[in-house]
Amino acid sequence: METVAENKCFGGVQGVYSHASKATGCDMTFGLFLPEEARDGPVPVLWYLSGLTCTHENAMVKAGAQGWAAEQGIALVFPDTSPRGEGVADDDGYDLGQGAGFYVNATQDPWKPHFQMWDYVAEELPALVTSEFAIDAERQAITGHSMGGHGALTLAMGRKGQYRSVSAFSPICHPTASDWGRKQLKAYLGTDEAAWARHDAALMMRDVGFDGPMLVDTGTSDQFIDLLKPEALAEAANARRQEATLRLQKGYDHSYFFVSSFMEDHIAFHAEALYA
Amino acid sequence: METVAENKCFGGVQGVYSHASKATGCDMTFGLFLPEEARDGPVPVLWYLSGLTCTHENAMVKAGAQGWAAEQGIALVFPDTSPRGEGVADDDGYDLGQGAGFYVNATQDPWKPHFQMWDYVAEELPALVTSEFAIDAERQAITGHSMGGHGALTLAMGRKGQYRSVSAFSPICHPTASDWGRKQLKAYLGTDEAAWARHDAALMMRDVGFDGPMLVDTGTSDQFIDLLKPEALAEAANARRQEATLRLQKGYDHSYFFVSSFMEDHIAFHAEALYA
């Protein structure tokens, strides 16, 4: 593992690190905020998964999360959104290939050799950060924005017991029925739609749900709301009697101005679960 | 004036606007955060001046200021750091020309026709925003980072009565004795160093001081601290018995991770003066 940068931030350290990933078969870069408390022993961790076109950096500089994480003594990890590099398959579209991993393990060529983001985010990177840093593997929570909100919700429901709480900002809630989803799930997972279901938060909610609290915020003026389909998740969560707070925030859009506006709420929500 | 973007943010609106500037003779773009309270009448305003290479956008997305401004009911203006465009003089260096206006009125060619950032920030843009938005011209305060900290300090001391309070993050404190200053002041103002003095915070502190509170933060691990020379401002402020809080923050560097870490303090500091 290589240190790309470390900057003191809210009493802790905002680092950027790169490492050779076994899951994705390429070098991966991630951001990690460690609060001051990590000097004295392992702290809980909140995973933040980013959206289409993002790298590890977007949320790290724009979401305003570090101040609240510092206040709660929680680490933040900002993984990249896909494998990257010259030898890694890509597509001309912004919504497929590099920058658009969709948090799945691809089974189809040309994506299969590197696009293993589910395993990378759920297994390899947690193993790395909990061994290299003062992070408590037993206290993990997960959040994300847009495609990253989809990743957070599906990982939380698909990896039983790994995360104590899950939240999302403007998540893609029903990708098997959306142009933000069908194209990518077909490319990465093939034409058999049965394989897509465990990467659809609304379907996973129907199927297995989440054993813990859930918080989802979506802006009523989100320019992509027809692609996100929050109503599908809301319907499924209500039908299941899932413990959840699903909010529509008046006038907010899909931007980081929206994410940062509600970051304090989300981190306080996760802190309650992580320190329970 | 043209609206480039408006995003709801912390209950208010983060806008970006452009307008034809008389002072700089070109189109200028600025960011403006208006808190919710502005719906009911004019609110106080904090000017944020950015550093070398920045546009109106950097602080707007990275400083984490809107949340605290919303809490205090204060507007934020993020001006650009120089005139821009094809017809505007420029230099190959990152530290001269476009992106490096240094908040002076240039008297030398080729800079003179457009590089009138002192007048733009102190006169033209305040007149525009107080006439177009619910902003109270009688309650202004000013802050900035690096070159923008230099601008904030020199404008506050050079424009008596305009700003109730002044603060700065890692400001260039003594440009007439620094490689961040001598090159630019010579280019914009000519070889007569007498004309440089009113654009040097340490010299202005000796000469006129500031009639109000001052807060300055600099990181002890700032990689540019030898160019900033906070000791020159500290010496002058102490010699003058200026009301001031001058802080050296252990381990912090020059980045926005530093700025965002202390933004809450700075906005609370200005709020006290603006609501006095």
CATH code assigned at B87: 3.40.50.1820
Say if strands B245-249 and B43-49 run parallel, antiparallel, or are unpaired.
unpaired
Mean pLDDT of B3-11: 98
Write out the catalytic residue numbers of B: 146, 222, 254
pTM for the model stands at 0.92
- pLDDT for residue B251: 96
- Hey, of A261, A262, A263, A266, which one would you mutate to test binding to chain B, going by the most B CBs within 10 A of its CB? A261
pLDDT digits (tens, 9 = 90+) for B193-229: 999 999 999 999 999 999 999 999 999 999 999 999 9
Question: ipTM more than 0.90?
Answer: no
Q: What end-to-end distance do the CA atoms of chain B give, in Å?
A: 32
Q: Is residue A145 annotated as part of the catalytic site, yes or no?
A: no
Distance CA A251, CA B13 (A): 10
- pLDDT for residue B57: 97
Question: How far away is chain B from the Cα of A255, in angstroms, using its nearest Cα?
Answer: 8
Query: Which residues 58-117 of A have a C-beta within 8 angstroms of B?
Result: 61-62, 64, 66-67
Q: What end-to-end distance do the CA atoms of chain A give, in Å?
A: 32
- pLDDT for residue A174: 98
B261 to chain A, any CB pair closer than 8 A? The answer is: yes
Q: Diameter of chain B by CA atoms?
A: 50
Number of domains in chain B: 1
Number of A to B CB contacts under 8 A, please give it.
Answer: 65
Residues of B in contact with A221 (CB under 8 A): 8
- Hey, of B8, B66, B218, which one would you mutate to test binding to chain A, going by the most A CBs within 10 A of its CB? B8
Q: Is B266 exposed, middle or buried (0-12, 13-18, 19+ CB in 10 A)?
A: buried
The residue range of the domain holding A58 is: 2-274
Per-residue pLDDT of chain A (276 residues; tens, 9 = 90+): 999 999 999 999 999 999 999 999 999 999 999 999 999 999 999 999 999 999 999 999 999 999 999 999 999 999 999 999 999 999 999 999 999 999 999 999 999 999 999 999 999 999 999 999 999 999 999 999 999 999 999 999 999 999 999 999 999 999 999 999 999 999 999 999 999 999 999 999 999 999 999 999 999 999 999 999 999 999 999 999 999 999 999 999 999 999 999 999 999 999 999 999
Q: Do B7 and A64 touch (CB under 8 A)?
A: no
Question: How far away is chain B from the Cα of A252, in angstroms, using its nearest Cα?
Answer: 5
Question: How far away is chain A from the Cα of B88, in angstroms, using its nearest Cα?
Answer: 31
Nearest Cβ partner for A9 among B11, B221, B257: B257
- pLDDT for residue A198: 97
- pLDDT for residue B187: 98
pLDDT category, B80, cuts 50, 70, 90?
very high
Whole-angstrom CA distances from A63 to A14, A126, B51 are 13, 22, 21
